[in-house]
């Protein structure tokens, strides 16, 4: 084999891909129940959308984006995150002119040029949810609750929800000035000093131990909130408490993108090592204006599917996602193969998951394949059975075998399995 997947790309093959697919399907069902509609978006956008939306001082924009010129000479970028593209679509298609908040979700790959390691890929997958057009703190709580419930439905019990607020345009400048005064006195490299002047909150997100050690005494944003931001944060916390969703206050949580305001949150998993964050999000009330839209508050999240699958595997709940068939047909003889193949389609059209032993396998090999398939029932069909208009129905859990007429086998299995 000459070719391999590009470095840093996450791929999913059976049976592991079943956990990946189950995570998406469970998310789709969860958000649909909350009134969120699906968006299908392009994987590349005008580069300036991300530069202006995500923030020109972020590592995402300065170091990690896959940017290139297309054949028309336009600068385009593979999406490094979803929110800017989602908001662009909402504005372009006028969804903000209808009922608010406009509630939408999306799923797919995103791209960042990073050093590949466990849980960090250059092509990674996310589920994304956005509620655009409302500054109600209950909408903040709703988005967090949807993410929390999704993780719970997947069987994850070791998650920690970290919660913070980043203030607003009124109180953030006061905090920014206090933070800059503190950071200017530290022993920082030239690039980090430049970041202090452009966006000092980015320094709080620095993962280097030598920088983190100096940040212990940094001023906290929660000590500089205006009355409106404090009230908003208190209402979010009260709503989460009403829903029995536990959280840990983390006044140093800033996330990695410039557009966040007020509510900010992250989900961490202790079994994932250095890359412990499985997802997060927050409010972005000024993002619409930064990309040329009207004033439009919003909140949302991006949850990593790759790290979610790793967490499911770490908690040993991924095996529950392995796909199985309900019925496995075992034909013996050429005429039986033809009849079994037709029966297979009948079963699938009736809503049952069905497969069969292909090729010229004997009874022993076919039954072994039936057991490996995870099916509850095997249908054994031989020449004598055909002459009698019957099929042998074997329960693969109890080993009990009964004869059922071919004419009624579909209804019989529907009664047992549906």
Closest CA to 104 of 38, 32, 41: 38
pLDDT more than 90, % of the chain: 81
Q: Tell which wins on pLDDT, 418 or 102.
A: 102
Asked if the model's pLDDT at residue 173 lies above 80, the reply is yes
Cα(127)–Cα(330) distance, integer angstroms: 40
Cα(259)–Cα(287) distance, integer angstroms: 6
Give the pLDDT score at 257: 67
Give the pLDDT score at 322: 62
Structure confidence by residue, pLDDT tens digits, 366-416: 999 999 998 999 999 999 999 999 999 999 999 999 999 999 999 999 999
Cα(174)–Cα(226) distance, integer angstroms: 10
Give the pLDDT score at 205: 79
Structure confidence by residue, pLDDT tens digits, 209-247: 999 899 988 999 999 999 999 999 999 999 999 999 999
Residues making up the annotated binding site are: 81-83, 112, 126, 130, 255, 259-260
Give the pLDDT score at 256: 62
Is residue 164 within 8 A of residue 254, CB to CB? The reply is yes
Torsion-angle region of 309 (φ positive above 0: left; ψ -120 to 50: alpha; else: beta):
alpha
**Structure tokens given for 184:** 């200017």
DSSP 174: H
Asked if the model's pLDDT at residue 321 lies above 60, the reply is no
Asked if the model's pLDDT at residue 359 lies above 90, the reply is no
Cα(205)–Cα(199) distance, integer angstroms: 11
Asked if the model's pLDDT at residue 61 lies above 80, the reply is yes
∠57-63-68 over CA atoms, to 5°?
110
Is residue 246 within 8 A of residue 260, CB to CB? The reply is no
Question: For 182, what's the count of Cα atoms within 13 Å in the CB-facing half-sphere?
Answer: 18
Residues making up the annotated binding site for L-histidine are: 81-83, 112, 126, 130, 255, 259-260
Is residue 163 within 8 A of residue 241, CB to CB? The reply is no
**Structure tokens given for 352:** 């049952």
* Percent helix, strand and coil across the chain, each to the nearest 5: 40, 20, 35
Is residue 27 within 8 A of residue 72, CB to CB? The reply is no
* Cα distances (Å, whole numbers) of residue 9 to 24, 120, 124, 167, 192: 19, 9, 7, 36, 30
Torsion-angle region of 119 (φ positive above 0: left; ψ -120 to 50: alpha; else: beta):
left
Is residue 389 within 8 A of residue 405, CB to CB? The reply is yes
Region 70-97: mean pLDDT is 96
Structure confidence by residue, pLDDT tens digits, 98-153: 999 999 999 999 999 988 888 889 999 999 999 999 999 999 999 999 999 999 99
Is residue 367 within 8 A of residue 330, CB to CB? The reply is yes
Give the pLDDT score at 204: 85
Q: Mind giving me the DSSP string for 351-418? A: T--EEE--SS--HHHHHHHHHHHT-SEEEEE-HHHHHHTEEEEEETTT--EEEEETTTHHHHHHHHH-
Region 351-358: mean pLDDT is 95
Q: 361 exposed, middle or buried (CB, 10 Å; 0-12, 13-18, 19+)?
A: middle
pTM of the model: 0.88
- Go through the domains of the chain in sequence order and give each one's CATH number: 16-168+226-315 (3.30.930.10), 327-416 (3.40.50.800)
DSSP 118: T
Q: Which pLDDT band holds residue 59 (cuts at 50, 70, 90)? A: confident
Give the pLDDT score at 57: 65
Average pLDDT, the chain: 93
């Amino acid at each position: 084999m000459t070719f391999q997947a590009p470095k840093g790309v996450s791929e999913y093959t059976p049976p592991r891909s079943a956990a990946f697919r189950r995570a998406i399907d469970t998310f789709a069902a969860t958000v649909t129940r909350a009134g969120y509609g699906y968006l299908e978006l392009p994987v590349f956008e005008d580069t300036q959308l991300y530069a202006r939306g995500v923030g020109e001082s972020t590592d995402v924009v300065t170091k990690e984006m896959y940017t290139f010129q297309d054949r028309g000479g336009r600068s385009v970028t593979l999406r490094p995150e979803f929110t800017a593209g989602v908001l662009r679509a909402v504005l372009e298609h006028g969804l903000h002119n209808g009922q608010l908040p406009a509630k939408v979700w999306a799923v797919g790959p995103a791209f960042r040029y990073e050093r590949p390691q466990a849980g960090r890929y250059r092509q990674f997958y996310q589920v994304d949810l956005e509620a655009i057009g409302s500054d109600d703190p209950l909408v903040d709580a709703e988005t967090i609750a949807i993410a929390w419930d999704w993780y719970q439905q997947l069987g994850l019990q070791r998650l920690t929800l970290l919660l913070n607020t980043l203030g607003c345009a009124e109180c953030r400048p006061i905090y920014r000035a206090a933070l800059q005064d503190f950071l200017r006195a530290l022993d920082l490299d030239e690039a980090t000093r430049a970041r202090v002047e452009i966006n000092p909150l980015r320094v709080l997100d620095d993962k280097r131990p030598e920088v983190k050690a100096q940040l212990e005494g940094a001023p906290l944003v929660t000590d500089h909130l205006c009355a409106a931001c404090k009230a908003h944060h208190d209402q979010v916390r009260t709503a989460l408490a009403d829903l029995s969703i536990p959280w840990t206050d983390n006044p140093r949580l800033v996330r990695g993108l410039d557009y966040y305001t007020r509510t900010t949150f992250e989900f961490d998993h202790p079994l994932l090592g250095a890359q412990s964050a499985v997802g997060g999000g927050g409010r972005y009330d000024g993002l619409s204006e930064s990309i040329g839209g009207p004033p439009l508050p919003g909140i949302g999240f991006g949850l990593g599917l790759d790290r979610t699958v790793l967490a499911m595997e770490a908690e040993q709940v991924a095996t529950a996602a392995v796909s199985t068939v309900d019925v496995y047909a075992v034909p013996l003889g050429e005429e039986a193969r033809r009849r079994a193949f037709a029966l297979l389609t009948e079963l699938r059209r009736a809503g049952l998951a069905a497969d069969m032993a292909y090729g010229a396998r004997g009874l022993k090999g076919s039954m072994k394949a039936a057991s490996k398939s995870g099916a509850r029932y095997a249908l054994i069909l031989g020449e004598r059975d055909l002459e009698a208009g019957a099929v042998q129905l074997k329960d693969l859990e109890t080993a009990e075998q009964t004869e059922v007429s071919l004419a009624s086998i579909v209804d019989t299995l529907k009664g047992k399995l549906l």
